């Protein structure tokens, strides 16, 4: 009878195996070999009550001290996420062995309890047991603590298992999960007889750490040693897409065709994604069509996203409408592709229309799609639509995060409703450490001409010990620029450099030059301009305009020369300089500059006005 149960379980007939046992267990005495396969079935079926019944039967028949059965029971409880029950079983084993300890460690790791797994590993020395390759790999599974990981690497070397392919692959994954690509690469180079799993672990880890160029090099090396499989190709195509290296993508595509993997759903989807991101949407669409019945919802979503990415909005809408003809239903990702795509293409009306349709279809939007549609409301200055979205978010409390709150505040600020924006900000129970929400408040106040409120918000930010970033400095300097407060700008500029260690960016230096120029401090503006490696035409033009306003001919001549070097076809600098000379009564110089404009063949575009009719 035991063999019948074992055979049913081996063939995947778990319910039938348990049913047979329940029918006959009272009429025959099970042996200790009857239980392991039944524990496995309970784990597969997620049947906790039946597992506990079997545990009770095991105790009834006196098998509770058998280490082999206890190990099977630990495995079952761990797979059912009943860690306390599994640990209790382990603690009641009279003489645990390596297998039972490995089962406990592996269970903790698989359930995300990595600290507990590492603690259990410490029992090996106390129990005078020797860890093996399974132990090391189990502790490393999902480990994201570099200190624990390095200790396990040392243990692997100590017991001579560091070059075991199973252990080496686990070590590679650990280092890459901890973003230590250097240690991972060193280890990878030491591993002999690498297999496909080892290569795939290394490639996917490199991709995760955004070192795509190295992914392509490792793939070339792999092609000489091992036959890449579908998992390899998906990772490599993703790296190729991120690099927009379509030439390498063509080579990988050729390899896929040669190995007849083009009809593989996930590989085909990766090809669609790669060609779309490389701006070859026609190639992507051709592959999408060739996949035919092998397409799944992910493939459709990838193609729709690709069309949006390449500004083929009509095709994207057409695909969205066709999707249901294959018996598929748009999911959250499908709707997000449409909403985010329209929003990025500044087609805000269409983005909002699809958002409404999504809600009507009963699909819960993601945080990203809500943020996108709020951005669309901001661009349209549509306060009514923005309030609708805010009301929806208020009702769906579970989707609120700092990005959405920032988007709500930004929407109200761009709609001129800074009092509503402040109300949202003040209702935050805990102010975020991320400066983004503070920055949007500061820039919003500046945009609405509320300079004092912006300064108050900056002071509150420092009081709350939120670390300003470069964007904060941009916001504050822009506010100072709008209201023409040079002294406050210098104060903030110096504070950011000395107290917060921020290196000024070109944009920030440009703002300071412009402020100095407009305040008549032309020499200081020129000194600061000299610190900018490649000043933009706009900042030089600002200094030139200030030279005209404050009648500084010497500065005007210098700025005209700089600007004409940058924009030799632009006559405006010469016109400004000519006007400056004319204001000073230097008519000969003014005439000379006018003649120079004619000699250079420059033509000043006439001004014009437009009238909008509604």
CA–CA separation, 154 and 594 (whole Å): 79
Query: By the 8 A CB rule, do 555 and 541 touch?
Result: no
How many CA atoms are closer than 13 Å to the CA of 566, on its beta-carbon side? 16
**pLDDT the model gives residue 515:** 84
CA–CA separation, 383 and 52 (whole Å): 58
Cβ-proximal residues to 319 (8 Å cutoff; 6+ apart), any chain: 300, 303, 304, 307
CA–CA separation, 344 and 351 (whole Å): 9
Mean pLDDT highest for which of 62-71, 171-180, 533-542?
A: 171-180
Neighbours of 423 (CB within 10 A): 12
Name the more confident of 280 and 427. Answer: 280
Which token pair is 237? Answer: 């195509």
Neighbours of 561 (CB within 10 A): 12
Query: pLDDT-derived band of residue 254, with 50, 70 and 90 as boundaries?
Result: very high
Burial status of residue 254 (CB atoms within 10 A of its CB: 0-12, 13-18, 19 or more): exposed
Cβ-proximal residues to 11 (8 Å cutoff; 6+ apart), any chain: none
pLDDT in tens, 76-122: 999 999 999 999 999 999 999 999 999 999 999 999 898 899 999 98
Eight-class DSSP state of 239: H
Residue at token pair 């686990």: 170
Q: Name the least confident of 438-447, 465-474, 581-590.
A: 581-590
CA–CA separation, 414 and 76 (whole Å): 57
Mean pLDDT of the chain: 88
**pLDDT the model gives residue 398:** 61
| For residues 345-353, average pLDDT | 87
Residue 605 pLDDT > 70, yes or no?
A: no
**pLDDT the model gives residue 608:** 56
Q: Name the least confident of 278-287, 392-401, 539-548.
A: 392-401
Query: By the 8 A CB rule, do 472 and 461 touch?
Result: yes
Q: What percent of the chain has pLDDT over 90?
A: 46
Using alpha carbons only, what angle is made at residue 150 by residues 147 and 153, rounded to the nearest 5 degrees?
155
Query: By the 8 A CB rule, do 74 and 103 touch?
Result: yes
Residue 173 pLDDT > 80, yes or no?
A: yes
The alpha carbon of residue 31 and the mean position of all alpha carbons in its chain are separated, in whole angstroms, by 53
CA–CA separation, 168 and 191 (whole Å): 7
Query: By the 8 A CB rule, do 427 and 433 touch?
Result: no
Q: Which residues of 66-89 are buried (b: 16+ CB within 10 A; e: fewer)?
A: beebbbbbbbbbbbbebbebbbeb
**pLDDT the model gives residue 603:** 65
- First and final CA of the chain: distance in angstroms? 88
| For residues 217-235, average pLDDT | 94
Q: Name the least confident of 144-158, 407-421, 525-539.
A: 525-539
**pLDDT the model gives residue 612:** 42
Q: Is the pTM of this model over 0.85?
A: no
Residue length of the chain: 614
CA–CA separation, 386 and 392 (whole Å): 10
H helices of 178-291, where?
181-190, 196-208, 212-225, 230-243, 246-258, 265-277, 281-291
In DSSP notation, 415-480 reads: TT-HHHHHHHHHT-SS--SSTHHHHHHHHHHHHTT-HHHHHHHHHHHHHTT----HHHHHHHHHHH
Cβ-proximal residues to 285 (8 Å cutoff; 6+ apart), any chain: 303, 307, 315
CA–CA separation, 190 and 162 (whole Å): 10
Query: By the 8 A CB rule, do 313 and 325 touch?
Result: no
Residue 528 pLDDT > 90, yes or no?
A: no
Cβ-proximal residues to 481 (8 Å cutoff; 6+ apart), any chain: 489, 511, 514, 515
How many CA atoms are closer than 13 Å to the CA of 522, on its beta-carbon side? 20
Q: Which H, E and C letters describe 132-143, residue by residue?
A: CHHHHHHHHCCC
CA–CA separation, 491 and 480 (whole Å): 11
Query: By the 8 A CB rule, do 535 and 563 touch?
Result: no
Residue 582 pLDDT > 60, yes or no?
A: yes
CA–CA separation, 280 and 588 (whole Å): 59
pLDDT in tens, 392-419: 888 876 666 788 888 899 999 989 999 9
CA–CA separation, 596 and 574 (whole Å): 8
């Amino acid at each position: 009878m035991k063999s019948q149960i074992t055979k049913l379980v081996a063939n995947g007939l778990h319910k039938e195996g348990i049913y047979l046992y329940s029918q006959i267990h009272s009429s025959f005495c099970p042996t200790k070999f009857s239980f392991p396969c039944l524990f496995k079935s309970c784990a597969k079926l997620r049947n906790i009550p039946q597992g506990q019944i079997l545990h009770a039967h095991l105790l009834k028949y006196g098998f509770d001290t058998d280490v082999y059965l206890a190990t099977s029971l630990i495995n079952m409880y761990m797979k059912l996420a009943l860690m306390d029950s599994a640990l209790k079983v382990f603690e009641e084993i009279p003489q645990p062995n390596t297998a039972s300890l490995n089962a406990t460690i592996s269970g903790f790791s698989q359930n995300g309890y990595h600290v507990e797994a590492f603690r259990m590993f410490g029992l090996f020395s106390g129990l005078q047991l020797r860890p093996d390759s399974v132990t090391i790999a189990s502790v490393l599974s999902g480990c994201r603590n570099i200190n624990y990981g390095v200790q396990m690497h040392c243990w692997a070397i100590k017991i001579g298992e560091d070059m075991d392919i199973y252990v080496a692959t686990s070590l590679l994954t650990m280092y890459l999960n901890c973003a230590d690509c250097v240690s991972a690469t060193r280890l990878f180079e030491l591993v002999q007889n690498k297999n496909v799993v080892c290569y795939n672990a290394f490639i996917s880890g490199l991709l995760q750490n955004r070192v795509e160029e190295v992914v392509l090099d490792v793939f070339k090396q792999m092609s000489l040693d091992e036959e890449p499989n579908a998992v390899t190709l998906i990772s490599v195509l993703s790296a190729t897409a991120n690099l927009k290296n379509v030439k390498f993508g063509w080579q990988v595509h050729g390899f896929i065709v040669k190995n007849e993997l083009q009809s593989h759903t996930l590989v085909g989807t990766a090809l669609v994604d790669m060609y779309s991101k490389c701006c070859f949407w026609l190639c992507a669409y051709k592959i999408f069509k060739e996949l035919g019945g092998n397409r799944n919802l992910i493939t459709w979503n990838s193609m729709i996203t690709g069309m949006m990415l390449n500004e083929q909005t009509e095709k994207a809408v057409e695909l969205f409408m066709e999707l249901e003809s294959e018996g598929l239903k748009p999911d959250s990702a499908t709707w997000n592709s449409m909403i985010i795509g329209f929003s990025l293409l500044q087609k805000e009306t269409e983005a909002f229309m699809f958002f409404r349709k999504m809600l009507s279809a009963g699909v819960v939007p993601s945080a990203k799609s809500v943020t996108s549609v709020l951005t669309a409301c901001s661009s349209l200055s549509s306060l009514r639509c923005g309030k609708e979205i805010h009301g929806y978010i208020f009702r769906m409390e579970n989707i609120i995060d700092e990005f959405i709150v920032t988007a709500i505040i930004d929407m109200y600020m761009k709609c001129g409703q800074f009092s509503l924006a402040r109300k949202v900000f003040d209702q935050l129970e805990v102010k975020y450490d991320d400066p983004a929400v503070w920055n949007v408040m500061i820039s919003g106040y500046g945009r609405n001409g509320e300079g004092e409120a912006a300064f108050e918000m900056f002071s509150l930010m420092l009081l709350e010990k939120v670390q300003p970033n470069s964007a904060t400095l941009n916001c504050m300097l822009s506010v100072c620029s709008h209201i023409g407060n040079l002294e406050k700008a210098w104060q903030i500029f110096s504070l950011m450099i000395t107290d917060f260690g921020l290196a000024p960016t070109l944009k920030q230096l440009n703002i300071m030059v412009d402020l100095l120029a407009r305040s008549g401090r032309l020499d200081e503006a020129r000194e600061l301009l000299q610190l900018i490696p490649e000043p933009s035409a706009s900042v030089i033009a600002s200094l030139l305009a200030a030279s005209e306003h404050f009648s500084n001919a010497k500065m005007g001549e210098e700025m005209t020369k700089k600007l004409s070097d940058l924009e030799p076809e632009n006559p405006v600098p010469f016109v400004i300089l000519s006007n400056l000379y004319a204001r000073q009564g230097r008519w000969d110089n003014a005439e000379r500059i006018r003649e120079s404009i004619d000699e250079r063949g420059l033509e000043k575009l006439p001004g014009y006005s437009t009238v909008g009719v509604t």
